[in-house]
Amino acid sequence: MRKTIKLIETSLIYGILIVVSATLILAFIDIVYQIKQKILTPPMFIIDAGGLMDLFSLLLVLLIGLELLETIKAYLKEDIVHVEFIILVAIIAIARKVIVWDFAKYRYEELLSLAAMIVGLGITYFLIKKADVKIHLPSRGKSKAKDDRE
């Protein structure tokens, strides 16, 4: 029974890797297309500030996806959830929000809440890196002796 569950878990992780990878490839193609569109619309080879912020937003979303992919790969290889990767993804996601912040649309209180989250995540990241904390999850078949007894 445990071997079946381990096989299902490993299959799901590989499936997630494939889906995330395909999504990242499509996102990259979209970014290249968006850049081409912005460069070729008059005035040519000029990207206004709004367009530049849109491109930065897309690039940061791609970076978040790459960090998620790295987290999944690390879990698959080592059976360890690297907490620092997850914290980095959260920091990048909030930083993306701050970078593309529209002051006309949102109030400063909302920006302060994002600042508080970044400070909290920054402190958390610092403490995790300093302590070198990793969460070890139950093995998915790395130990042959244990599996043979089951």
Instruction: Encode pLDDT of 103-134 as tens digits.
Output: 788 888 888 898 899 999 999 999 988 887 56
Distance CA 117, CA 108 (A): 14
* The pLDDT of residue 19: 95
Closest to 80 (Cα-Cα) out of 142, 26, 138, 17: 138
Residue indicated by tokens 């109030």: 107
pTM of the model: 0.69
In the prediction, which pLDDT does 76 show?
82
The pLDDT score that the predictor gives to residue 132 is 75
Cis peptide before 43 (omega within 30 of 0): yes
Q: Is the pLDDT of residue 27 over 60?
A: yes
Per-residue pLDDT, averaged over 5-33, amounts to 93
Average pLDDT over the chain, rounded to an integer: 83
